[in-house]
A = this chain, B = another copy of it.
């Protein structure tokens, strides 16, 4: 079964290459064109031309306003909902819950260090006290954690693909989201920092979408394919990640006083003062250059480029823009 030493080394080297031929070529060409200072990932993003940015529709954003902090400062968290084909049943439920203002008056109930912040109904598991859910929510199945509806291809120029890792045969970006997939065409969203998922009870429960969490630590990728991922925080994650850690089991707040009240959760198109947001197209040349620079830091601070990056160490850039774009 053993591979030859040479074959193994070749395979290892190949794995560590972040970008495949055409995308890498584009990067190399642009580096040749500027033989002076090498830009940092952030500088590449800042210089990305307008066509490389994709507007996020207001109707695909979920806006959660927590109670102001102790200094009276507002705490707004903006979530981009995941585009089809992933998790659309849960996302439909989330839209319904936001439409009927279901979360208003509920709270953030759990903050576990290096893991998740979770919000919803603190009494959700107590049938006598739980807040009633609206009619019409759909029930999803465990099959729906994955999808075979996208025909992903590892070939450039339309993908920044990272090959295999401990969790998946393939890792790449799809419509601005980190994705993983196996060899038979099944794909699933990845639990990177800031991703938003659906809390649930023991299987076969899959959760309704009423109980949500976001990742505030090292990517807990063991949750991939075990829980639905419905989006990612694109603004205000610091209002969640800097909350006091809960001292109860699994980081739940032990007292009612510790819970952080939710003023409101609305879909973006119901929030008049919401700014416009854009993400850097994950099929753009700018994103390919950014991802390459994340994997091979050549800016002045670095002395040894890593030669690779895991998918969660390449966060997709998002920017806030004025209404005129």
Contact = CB atoms under 8 A, between A and B. Distances in A.
A1 to B, nearest CB: 6
A48 interface: no
How many copies of this kind of chain does the complex include?
2
A interface SS class: loop
A30 interface: no
A62 interface: no
Interface stretch (A124-132, A220-228, A317-325): A220-228
Interface stretch (A151-159, A261-269, A307-315): A307-315
A142 B303 contact: yes
Interface stretch (A21-29, A80-88, A101-109, A161-169): A161-169
A105 to B, nearest CB: 24
Contacts of A238: 113, 244-245
Interface in A162-197: 162, 164-167, 169, 183, 192-194
A200 B224 CA distance: 36
Interface string A1-39: 101000111111001101000000000000000000000
A312 B192 CA distance: 13
Contacts of A225: 303-304, 306
Taking residues whose C-beta sits less than 8 angstroms from the other chain, chain A's interface range is 35 or more
A183 B13 CA distance: 11
A167 B308 contact: yes
Nearest to A113: B238
A313 B243 contact: no
Interface in A279-322: 294-295, 297, 300-310, 312-313, 315
A203 B301 CA distance: 6
B241 A114 contact: yes
Given A193-B114, A194-B114, A310 B166 contact: yes
Contacts of A221: 306, 309-310, 313
A243 B242 contact: yes
A226 B302 contact: yes
23 contacts: A3-B11, A7-B7, A12-B164, A12-B169, A16-B166, A18-B166, A70-B70, A111-B242, A113-B237, A114-B194, A166-B310, A167-B308, A203-B300, A203-B302, A218-B313, A220-B313, A221-B313, A222-B313, A225-B303, A226-B297, A238-B245, A242-B242, A242-B244
Interface of A: 1, 3, 7-12, 15-16, 18, 70, 111, 113-114, 142, 145, 162, 164-167, 169, 183, 192-194, 202-203, 217-222, 224-226, 237-238, 241-245, 294-295, 297, 300-310, 312-313, 315
A192 B114 CA distance: 11
Closest 4 CB pairs of A and B: A166-B308, A238-B245, A225-B304, A193-B218
